[in-house]
Amino acid sequence: MVGNHRQDKPVIRAGMIGLGMIFDETYRPFFEQVRTSDLYRREFGVVGVELAAVATRTGQRAEAYRQSAGNRIGPFVSIHGHDAAEQLCRLDVDAMCVATPDDRHYAAARAALQAGKHVLIEKPSVLRLEQLAELDRLAREQKVLAKVVYHKLLDPDHKKLRTHVADGILRHVNSGYCSLLEPKQISMSQFSEWVQGRNPGTYVAVHYVKLIDFTFFHGTPARLKMVTATGQRGLVGPPEGPTWDSVQLRMVYAYPDGREAGFDIHTSWVNPDNFPGYVEQEVQFRFDNGVWNAHQRKRGVEVCVEGMSPNPIKMTPNHHYNGTFLEPWGERSQRGYGIEAIQRFFEEVAEVEFGGPPSEREQRLERVRLLHYNDLSADWNTVATVHAMEAVLAHHKEGRSGGVVQIEEGRLTLWLPGSGHTETLYEPQTGL
Ligand SMILES: NC(=O)c1ccc[n+]([C@@H]2O[C@H](COP(=O)([O-])OP(=O)(O)OC[C@H]3O[C@@H](n4cnc5c(N)ncnc54)[C@H](O)[C@@H]3O)[C@@H](O)[C@H]2O)c1
Q: How far is the CA of 22 from the centre of ligand 1 (A)?
A: 7
Q: Which atom of ligand 1 is nearest to the CA of 204?
A: 43
Q: Compute, in angstroms, the gap from residue 354 CA to the centroid of ligand 1.
A: 30
Same fold, 4-152+332-369 and 155-215+235-317: no
CA-closest residue to ligand 1 atom 40:
101
Rg (CA), the chain: 22
- Separation of CA 24 and ligand 1 centre (Å): 10
Q: Tell me the β-bridge partners of 214.
A: none
Q: How far apart are CA 27 and CA 6, in angstroms?
A: 23
Query: Domain 155-215+235-317 is in which class?
Result: alpha beta
| pLDDT category of residue 298 using cuts at 50, 70 and 90 | confident
CATH 3.40.50.800 fits 4-152+332-369, yes or no: no
Name all residues whose Cβ lies below 6 A of ligand 1: 17-23, 55-57, 61, 82, 84-85, 99-102, 104, 122-123, 149, 151, 190-191, 203
- Report pLDDT for 5: 63
| Predicted local distance difference test score (pLDDT) of residue 132 | 98
pLDDT digits (tens, 9 = 90+) for 105-122: 999 999 999 999 999 999
Q: What is the 21 CA–ligand 1 centroid distance (Å)? A: 7
Average pLDDT of every residue of the chain: 95
From 23, 28, 57, mutation site for ligand 1 pocket: most ligand atoms within 8 A of C-beta: 57
Residue 296 to residues 84, 155, 215, 278: CA-CA distances in angstroms?
Answer: 36, 9, 17, 11
Mean pLDDT over residues 359-380, rounded?
98
**Using 50, 70 and 90 to split pLDDT, how confident is the model at 299?**
confident
Angle subtended at Cα 243 by Cα 296 and Cα 423, rounded to the nearest 5 degrees? 100
> How far away, in angstroms, is 382 Cα from ligand 1 center?
19
- Indicate which residue's Cα is closest to atom 34 of ligand 1: 56
Output the pLDDT for position 303: 94
Task: Give the per-residue pLDDT at 430.
Answer: 66
pLDDT digits (tens, 9 = 90+) for 27-55: 999 999 999 999 999 999 999 999 999 99
How far apart are alpha carbons 219 and 372 in whole angstroms? 10
186-231 per-position pLDDT tens digit = 999 988 889 999 999 999 999 999 999 999 999 999 999 999 999 9
Q: Indicate the pLDDT class of residue 297, thresholds 50, 70 and 90.
A: confident
Per the rule left: phi > 0, alpha: psi between -120 and 50, beta: everything else, 79 is beta
Average pLDDT over residues 63-76: 97
**85 Cα to the center of ligand 1, angstroms:** 13
Residue spans per domain, the chain = 4-152+332-369, 155-215+235-317
Give the pTM: 0.96
- pLDDT for 429 equals 80
**Which residue's CA is the closest to the ligand 1 atom numbered 2?**
22
The pLDDT assigned to 1 comes to: 47
Mean pLDDT over 330-343 rounds to 96
Kindly list the distances between the CA atom of residue 39 and the CA atoms of 118, 333, 383, in Å, as whole numbers in the listed order. Answer: 17, 16, 31
DSSP structure class, residue 186: I
Atom of ligand 1 nearest to the CA of 57: 37
pLDDT score of 166 more than 90: yes
Distances (CA, A) of 20 to 80, 162, 305, 336, 428: 14, 31, 28, 19, 35
- Which is more confidently placed, 201 or 3? 201
